Homo-oligomer: A and B are copies of this chain.
Amino acid sequence: MSRQPDPNRRNEQSRQAIVTAAADLCAEVGFAAVTVEAIAARAGVGKQTIYRWWPSKAAVLLEYMERERERAAGFPDTGDLAADLLTQTTALQRLFDSDAGAVWRGLLIAAQSDDVAADGVRALLEQAIVEAKQRLTKAQGTDELRSDADLDMVVEIIFGPLYHAWLLRTRPLPKAYMSDVLKLVFEGLKPRDRPLIR
């Protein structure tokens, strides 16, 4: 007969303080060092207030990420697919280097063992992927993208390289990284048939 609390009576100040404190901690000391105790202490809040509203620290960080996502516009659509993809992926690359990147990295970790985090992460990814696929569908209509390509796969080809380099930390990425990646995946890795005499 466990009762869930009444959201109307919730203290909004505490809520903000908790989410902010969690994200700051994550950026400063890394996800592993974020503990409910530390969040509570930094937010000036009782531990119970965290446990009352969130099932885990990952859930708190999820709320932060969702908030960040709302601040960002959706997938851009200027009519030029190449430009739109560059805009979006460059924004993502910038996000990966920000505080939100640290939080997102932590959530991807948490999602490996915490079902709540996994669901939240899945939802965020899903949303991003759906938006991307909508833009790509339109691009197939305007003949900017191969119409025989599976869109999930296209998404993975476009975002995969960036995630690979960021998550696996194999090397630092140049600012223009995604510009080159996009050129390469759109043109293909095969040598051009005949470098046209021009």
In Å, the complex CA distance between A180 and B152 comes to 12
Interface residues on A, range: 35 or more
User: Distance (Å) between the CB of A119 and the closest chain B CB?
Assistant: 11
What is the count of identical protomers in the complex?
4
A167: which of B147, B149, B167, B188 is its contact (CB, 8 Å)? B167
User: Distance (Å) between the CB of A73 and the closest chain B CB?
Assistant: 22
Chain B proximity mask over A163-198: 1 for CB below 8 Å, otherwise 0: 111011111000001001100111111111000000
Contacting B at CB under 8 A, from A1-59, are 30-33
Tell me whether A118 and B184 are in contact in the complex, defined as CB-CB below 8 angstroms, given that A146-B191, A189-B157 are known contacts. Answer: no
In this complex, the member of A109, A122, A188 whose beta carbon has the largest number of chain B beta carbons within 10 angstroms is A188
A92 within 8 A of B: no
User: Distance (Å) between the CB of A137 and the closest chain B CB?
Assistant: 14
User: Distance (Å) between the CB of A135 and the closest chain B CB?
Assistant: 13
B112 and A191 contact, CB distance less than 8 A: no
A125 and B168 contact, CB distance less than 8 A: yes
Contacts of A109 in B (CB 8 A): 109, 112
A interface residues with partner B (beta carbon < 8 Å): 30-33, 105-106, 108-109, 111-114, 118, 121-122, 125-126, 129, 143-147, 149-150, 152-154, 156-157, 159-165, 167-171, 177, 180-181, 184-192
Listed by A's residue number, 8 A-B pairs whose Cβ atoms lie within 8 Å are: A108-B168, A145-B191, A152-B171, A160-B160, A186-B189, A186-B190, A187-B190, A188-B189
